[in-house]
Amino acid sequence: MSKSAILSSSIAKKYWMAVTGLFLCLFLVGHLLGNLQLVMKTGEEGRRAFNEYAYFMSHNIFIKVLSYATYISILFHAVDGIMLTLQNKKARPVNYVYNNPSANSSGAARKMAVLGTAILVFIVIHMANFWWKMKYSSEPMPIHTYVVSSTDQTGQSKTDTLYYTHTPSLQPVPTNPMIVVKNGTELYFKDVNVKVGDTYKDLHKIVMSFFGKSINGAPTNQYALFAVILYVLSMAILSFHLMHGFSSAFQSLGLNHKKYTPSIKLFGKIFAIVVPAAFAIIPVLIFLSK
Amino acid sequence: MASKFINISLKVWRQKNANAKGAIETYKLDHVSTDSSFLEMMDQLNEQLINERKEPIAFDHDCREGICGSCSMYINGRAHGPETGTTTCQLHMRSFKDGDTVYVEPWRAKAFPVIKDLVVDRSAFDRIQQAGGFVSVNTSGRTMDANAIPIPKDDADKAFEAAACIGCGACVATCKNSSAMLFVGAKVSQYALLPQGKVEAKDRVLNMVRQMDEEGFGNCTNTGACEVECPKGISLENIARMNREFLKAALSAE
Ligand code: HEM
Ligand code: SF4
Ligand code: FES
């Protein structure tokens, strides 16, 4: 009894929706803090901060565990949500001829499944835009290199293009035909197979050009304006989903209390506005700064 | 206050029996006193239909004072009509204006099938209640006086508020998911809050929720519509309490 109850009963399904939904809210906060690196610092400094962050995210075991928890949560939340919605449709085979639901409930609350499905579509597009490119694309990823100017002993100024590396004990590694990149980011001497350092994938450049800002004259996405609009609209949809979802999750978990519920509702509304708005402003700022 | 009279047009769901295909029929009804209740207006319409040698409209009603919960009508897109905190029998025609068109439909839910016209079968609620909505007391003649058990005033008040549920089904009718969680939440809470009910609390919540699911009610998504339309002001807190009780019980049941 207890085993099937905890998996299949209507209340258990609500618990799962709430737990995965709140976990995804935490994920949003983490993801946002990382993304803000794109606009908090500018120039080479911002680029380094973001690429270091991206490297950390893909090489830390703790983050790896969290990321799998996130994938599972999204899948579970989406599948459970769609199942719930289909069951709920079945629970009313004949509809009212005349209905006035806005008299007693908010549109966001009634449209959770449509909003959620739109978010799912966005997540797929978003992962194809960046995550897939970073991990699996057959095109080689751009590598983070930077230019330094210096004056040598004879007083002549010269410029060098260096790999941005994170093996501090080694000398700066210049980009020249002697050095080859293996396994995406590892730098080797061409013929002797000796590793000289690790560099970074330049995800920063991919993001910037995707939203229409050219770095060092690199070509940009010709549909950047369309991309910015799509991302901003998707965040508006997320905002509506959270406007109902955040406080709803607490009710699902059985946390309804005269003392705390008003604050949870208020916090949920603020969260639902601030977090998606902060996400949305990033592509807009990038687009406008070109 | 002098009574006023209005002329209205009614669009009523007519359905011969459970298997027939129903449809909306339009009726004109003149000279309706604004002092009459909605059910009295329906009586007036039925008299008119009988005089015209037509089949009167079947609808459920009993106490006509807001306590039996049988007067289920979905009026102008809302359970029990435009006012909050009222049953259909307590709704008065002064809530309508001269020339209004008024839609009257039965509750819509798979678990509440239409029997005829506006009458639905709400026995699913009875079966949920029978699954656990009771306290098994020993009636050997030596039962303890209920007042001998001290109960905190707060708990007694909350149990009483939950017990005010009249099983009318407005919560199901208005919920976009046809969920019965406000009803079941009220019934579970009413006992869970009292010492007499705590003894069987675990089985009660598991059995009542299982019966609720088996009857084909939908899943709650916390839209809050039920709380707004409930004629007895049953609070969503009761659903949260049921969810807590359910988790406790499901995790510890063997
Ligand atoms: C970052 C993405 C998302 C976040 C942060 C999120 C968050 C939430 C939260 C907190 C809830 C309230 C849970 C409750 O009431 O117990 C919820 C409900 C819901 N979500 Fe999501 N969600 C996300 C994506 C999705 C996706 C991709 C779908 C896909 C179909 C979806 C479908 C739903 C549905 C149908 C509900 C209502 C279910 C119910 O109230 O029982 N959501 N979401
Ligand atoms: S909870 Fe309210 S609306 Fe639902 S059955 Fe009880 S009294 Fe009627
Ligand atoms: S007839 Fe009893 S509540 Fe309306």
What are phi and psi for residue B49, nearest 5 degrees? -65, -40
The shortest CB-CB distance from A256 to any of B221, B225, B237 is to B237
For B122-139+146-253, CATH gives 1.10.1060.10
Mutate to test the interface with A, among B177, B237, B248 (most CBs of A within 10 A): B177
Report which protein residue has its CA nearest ligand 3's atom 1.
B64
Tokens of A182: 């293996």
Confidence check: pLDDT of A1 > 60: no
**Contact: A91, B176; criterion CB under 8 Å:** no
Question: Model pTM?
Answer: 0.91
Do residues A261 and A185 make contact, with C-beta atoms less than 8 angstroms apart? no
**Contact: B105, A252; criterion CB under 8 Å:** no
Confidence check: pLDDT of B140 > 80: no
Q: Which residues contact B175 (CB under 8 A, 6 or more apart)?
A: B182, B218, B220, B223, B225, B226
Burial A89-125 (b: 16+ CB within 10 A, else e): eebbeeebebbebeebbeebbbbbbebbbbbbebeee
Q: Are residues A45 and A128 in the same domain?
A: yes
Domain span(s) for CATH 1.10.1060.10 in chain B: 122-139+146-253
pLDDT in tens, A124-165: 999 988 877 776 666 677 888 888 887 877 878 888 888 888
Sheet order of strands, B78-79 included: B23-33, B5-14, B101-105, B74-75, B78-79
Domain span(s) for CATH 3.10.20.30 in chain B: 5-115
Q: Give the total number of structural domains in chain A.
A: 2
Q: Are residues A52 and A116 in the same domain?
A: yes
pLDDT in tens, B3-40: 799 999 999 999 999 999 999 999 999 999 999 999 99
For chain B, the residue count is 254
Q: Are residues A194 and A212 in the same domain?
A: no
CB atoms within 10 A of CB A284: 15
Question: Min CA distance, A277 vs chain B (Å)?
Answer: 24
Question: Min CA distance, A91 vs chain B (Å)?
Answer: 5
Q: Which chain A residues have any C-beta within 8 angstroms of a chain B C-beta?
A: 1-2, 5-6, 9-15, 84, 87-88, 90-101, 103-106, 109-110, 112, 244, 248, 251-258
pLDDT in tens, B25-34: 999 999 999 9
What pLDDT shows up at residue A91?
Answer: 97
Ligand 3 atom at minimum distance from B166 CA = 3
Q: Are residues A15 and A77 in the same domain?
A: yes
Question: Min CA distance, B226 vs chain A (Å)?
Answer: 8
CATH number at residue A46: 1.20.1300.10
| B195 Cα distance to chain centroid | 27
SS3 category, B173: helix
What pLDDT shows up at residue B8?
Answer: 98
Neighboring chain A residues of B223 at a CB cutoff of 8 Å: 104-106, 109-110, 244
Helix (H) / strand (E) element for A17: namely: helix A10-35
pLDDT in tens, A153-198: 787 888 888 888 876 556 777 787 778 887 777 788 888 878 778 8
Q: Is A219 inside any structural domain? A: yes
Q: Are residues A126 and A254 in the same domain?
A: yes
Neighboring chain B residues of A116 at a CB cutoff of 8 Å: none
B186 CA distance to ligand 2 centroid (A)?
A: 8
Do residues B234 and B161 make contact, with C-beta atoms less than 8 angstroms apart? yes
Q: Are residues A195 and A214 in the same domain?
A: no
The residue segments making up the domain with residue A164 are: 145-199
Sheet order of strands, A157-163 included: A145-151, A157-163, A173-174
C-beta B165 within 6 A of ligand 2: yes
Question: Min CA distance, A100 vs chain B (Å)?
Answer: 4
Distance of alpha carbon A113 from alpha carbon B203, whole angstroms:
32
For B5-115, CATH gives 3.10.20.30
Mutate to test the interface with A, among B15, B86, B223 (most CBs of A within 10 A): B223
Quick check: ipTM above 0.85? yes
